[in-house]
Amino acid sequence: MLKPVLPAVQADHVPPPFLPDEPLSGLFASRQAETFAPGQAVFWQGDQAVDILRIRSGCLRLFRVLPDGRRAITGFAFAGRVLGLAVRGRHAQTAEAVTEVKLQRLSARVFHAAVDDSPGLRPQVMELVCEEAAAAQEQSVMLASKKAEERLATFLVTTAQRTGADLRVPVEIELPMSRLDIADYVGLTIETVSRLFSRFKREGLITLDSPRLVRLRRLRDLIVLAGDLDDGDDFFEPERRPARPH
Amino acid sequence: MLKPVLPAVQADHVPPPFLPDEPLSGLFASRQAETFAPGQAVFWQGDQAVDILRIRSGCLRLFRVLPDGRRAITGFAFAGRVLGLAVRGRHAQTAEAVTEVKLQRLSARVFHAAVDDSPGLRPQVMELVCEEAAAAQEQSVMLASKKAEERLATFLVTTAQRTGADLRVPVEIELPMSRLDIADYVGLTIETVSRLFSRFKREGLITLDSPRLVRLRRLRDLIVLAGDLDDGDDFFEPERRPARPH
DNA sequence: CGCACAGTTGATTCGGCTCAAAGCCTGTGG
DNA sequence: CCACAGGCTTTGAGCCGAATCAACTGTGCG
């Protein structure tokens, strides 16, 4: 689950707009990018899903709204993520830009046709869908059984994970999303999330250079706090995340 | 999401051991069934996933255990369900028989080889994996934003759904799982679940002929209570769930 | 008959929510 | 350059819903 999943994103010299070795990048090669401003929706819950999308840069939030207005964020999507693979018919969620987002679009019909007669692509698509399923289950487990502090710790650790940074030293992560987004993601309120940030800071687990810029000191303790996460012992194994030549 | 998903399970004359039109039934046609006693594990979290399984009868619980022993049930699996499709490498969860379970087994290697060169089977497998992903997300949304009573209502309604019964009249559902199972599934404690059953009964939403035999009176109110669920207006549309000839 | 276990019910506690009020940055216009 | 507005974020006080702890009640089984 938490093993290195993203391929080579941590390579020092690669700027955001060009991630090599991304899954399915070939299919999108010649497609031109659209831009979405922060807060703008890419698609809405209930929309007919006609396209497969690939994020070039930026961050999206994926969420569902209950009839009474409560919002549950099911995930955040970053550069390289392909959306719409597991969608049959209508979108079950809304996708909204958190930061400015650039993405490419491909007709689902064309996409699936192309994938269907490429034995090389098929397992890649399957792999991505499986990852989505696994992530959703992970989230369920967290929400069903973890307490507030464990949820935030989990969020911080997995977010750090995603950046592909070297996890053996204090990691600095930039959170593009607001406290409200985080709250709706981990199933808490803004206030509780904020209080937890403060507490983690007070206890020396993190530092907050600004509300959106977190440095994880004592990552190991955070991992333990997070509870699950394969208990993180193999997080620091040299052979799993080889030292980068510099 | 909640539209009729299972094909023809509600046909009156079909006894549990022989569900026709089941997805992928062809592949398992000649495989002989194994039996698991209640409480027995079919596979363990962490096991190498070598087989694809298909449930012929009975009910399984799928769950993960956190290091400190808390258990989160991610779902229950019933006859017709195929397990192991979305698993890469090791199982992320344990599967345990709730009732006596009979299932068939097929080597994952063989299975995927067969699927891979059958253009007819591929979309079926994809469909199932997508359903798994969707179910997990549904669960996440519920756990992230619903209160206790809404969770139990959701559980009851979706369970009723699954049976494929006519939902316009009081549905009687047999719950194979214990209160503890339900609690671990909806992210509550046994006591809270029990209290809610009592309350629903007191309020006339359900009757409890025995702890495991629930009759849903006022299903509509339960659906509203459940909150989400497309708000259930199209639950009762005649054309969606045609009246059965008798 | 009595033990074991599942489920229910009650009393109490406590974590996280709600409501309310300050801080704090960012951008905007004077 | 500073003042101010507005949206985030933080912090505080009090409350409430669900967890916890603890009987008690079936019900099936040796």
SS (H, E, C) A174-196: ECCCCHHHHHHHHCCCHHHHHHH
pLDDT of residue B11: 41
In chain A, residues 49-68 whose CB comes closer than 8 Å to chain B = 64, 66-68
Instruction: Give the C-alpha separation, B240 to B246, whole Å.
Output: 18
pLDDT of residue A232: 54
pLDDT of residue B163: 87
- Statement: residue A240 has pLDDT above 50: no
Question: Rounded mean pLDDT of A172-200?
Answer: 97
Q: Is some CB atom of chain A closer than 8 A to the CB atom of B92?
A: yes
Q: Is some CB atom of chain A closer than 8 A to the CB atom of B139?
A: yes
Contacts of A64 in chain B (CB under 8 A): 141, 228
Q: Do A170 and A161 touch, CB atoms closer than 8 A?
A: no
Does the distance separating the beta carbons of B1 and A228 come in below 8 Å? no
Mutate to test the interface with A, among B83, B116, B132, B137 (most CBs of A within 10 A): B137
Low-confidence ranges of chain B (pLDDT < 70): 1-21, 229-246
- Statement: residue A149 has pLDDT above 80: yes
pLDDT in tens, A35-47: 999 999 999 999 9
H helix or E strand, kind and range, residue A138: helix A121-145
In chain B, residues 211-240 whose CB comes closer than 8 Å to chain A = 227-228, 231
Mutate to test the interface with A, among B68, B118, B141 (most CBs of A within 10 A): B141
- Statement: residue A243 has pLDDT above 50: no
pLDDT greater at residue A14 or residue A79: A79
Lookup result for tokens 């995340």: A241
Mean pLDDT of chain A: 87
Q: Measured from the CB, is B137 under 7 Å from any atom of strand C?
A: no
Q: Measured from the CB, is B212 under 7 Å from any atom of strand D?
A: no
- Statement: residue A192 has pLDDT above 60: yes
pLDDT of residue B30: 84
Q: CA–C1' span, A191 to D10, in Å?
A: 8
- Kindly report the bases of strand D lying within 7 A of a protein C-beta atom: 8-13, 17-22
pLDDT in tens, A213-228: 999 999 999 999 998 7
Instruction: Give the C-alpha separation, A23 to A25, whole Å.
Output: 5
Instruction: Give the C-alpha separation, A95 to B31, whole Å.
Output: 44
Question: Rounded mean pLDDT of A231-240?
Answer: 50
pLDDT of residue B22: 74
pLDDT of residue B205: 97
